[in-house]
Amino acid sequence: MTNMEPETMAPGPVAGRALLERARRVIPGGVNSPVRAFKGVGGTPRFIRGAEGAFLEDVEGRRLLDYIGSWGVMVLGHGHPAVRQALADAVGRGTSYGAPTEGEIVLAEAIARLVPAVEVVRMVNSGTEATMSAIRLARAATGRSRVVKFRGGYHGHADPFLVEAGSGAATLGVPSSPGVPPGTAADSLVAEYNDLASVATLFDAHPGEIAAVIVEPVCGNMGCVPPVDGFLTGLQRLCRERGALLVFDEVMTGFRVSRGGAQERYGITPDLTTLGKVIGGGLPVGAYGGRADLMRMVAPEGPVYQAGTLSGNPLAVAAGLATLRVLEEDPAVYEHLEALGRLFDEGFGEMGRRLGIPMRWYRVGGMGSLFFTEAAVRDWPSVAASSRARFNFLFHGLLEDGIHLPPSPFEAWFWSYAHTPADVERTLRSAEAILTRKDFPDA
């Protein structure tokens, strides 16, 4: 990385804006993933030129304490020495072969060893590929077409997942993006997260039609919203009673909330699991896996077709293996993530009580979110009721102070093995100073 030490380097005030304008001429919105555009918070995104440990450095030389972590990928921090060395070794041998490698086997063995529900796994290139492939497999295995997802959950941008709830309790999905055929969306049913009754209603309304229920076991795409007691167990019971498969989307939670993911943390064994992010160590990656009898249905062993030119890419495999080795061999990683999380728990809890500001902090493992609301947060309606204006004020105040949160009130924060207690304490001090400013919004 470039020089990381100076925190007061004179910024070039137009560099970021100039890059955004340049990017808009050739990239939609100037970004290659929508949330990066700062549409949720306003302002101009920071263009990054390097990262190390717990910090980013933008093109204007500003050092930013990072709570994005490449959206949960960087559980060890940016540029971990083991990952850098693994990549250097791998790139010296080549970048892509279009043929099998031993590294793919070792990574698959590690995933199967660490993730309780995974017996057999197929590597793909993204979380979207993983989830759409898992749903295709579930439909083939059950002979059914419909899928249940949860409002506020995100499983990539494949057509079956870009739906929102229609009217009525037993609701068919309706397209939430142009280009999604109504017929495709109609096969996606939408329930409320943490509401078992809404799922049972869908099963009752569509008997023998639902192939799978797909869920983020800890929702991370409407902020961090943990499952209430009994929710995941109830989902598993409903699926088994009604002949559907339970799919855990652990693209975000896998190796983030515990070594074996949310399924290990909560003691639930889904039929299929999707993974991504951490298993690539910072390179594009995805995977889906589960029971052997289901996964043996995937081509070339079975009739369910799925393929990918770059699946099991040797660079992604090398970075992922290096990451998983550290996670498996060093028990201090998860102890550290939990310890930092507890500092946030205590700090924001005490801060809200002392300042009299209605706010709720939720956290599981190394991910969490702050909601400006008095009511408990457990589903999309309660998330949507939180104050966006207050979050946006906090976001920009922290960014001015060199602390970069995800640029949306509906995205989880992530910290890493490279973050320190001092980093968390600095974040809490800065947040309190912002919350006590005279211009802090009333609501």
Gap between the terminal Cα atoms of the chain? 40
Confirm if 254 and 115 have CB atoms less than 8 A apart.
yes
Is beta strand 360-364 parallel, antiparallel or unpaired with respect to 48-52?
A: unpaired
Residues identified as active-site: 154, 249, 277
Number of alpha carbons in the 13 Å side-chain half-sphere of residue 405: 30
User: Can you give the length of the chain in residues?
Assistant: 443
Cα R_g (the chain), whole angstroms? 22
Contacts of 384 (CB under 8 A, 6+ apart): none
Q: How far is CA 279 from CA 75, 173, 246, in A?
A: 10, 31, 22
Q: SS3 string of 76-123?
A: CCECCHHHHHHHHHHHCCCCCCCCCCHHHHHHHHHHHHHCCCCCEEEE
Confirm if 366 and 415 have CB atoms less than 8 A apart.
yes
Residue bearing tokens 């947060």: 377
Query: 141 by DSSP, 3-state: which?
Result: helix
Which helix (H) or strand (E) covers residue 192, if one does?
Answer: strand 188-192
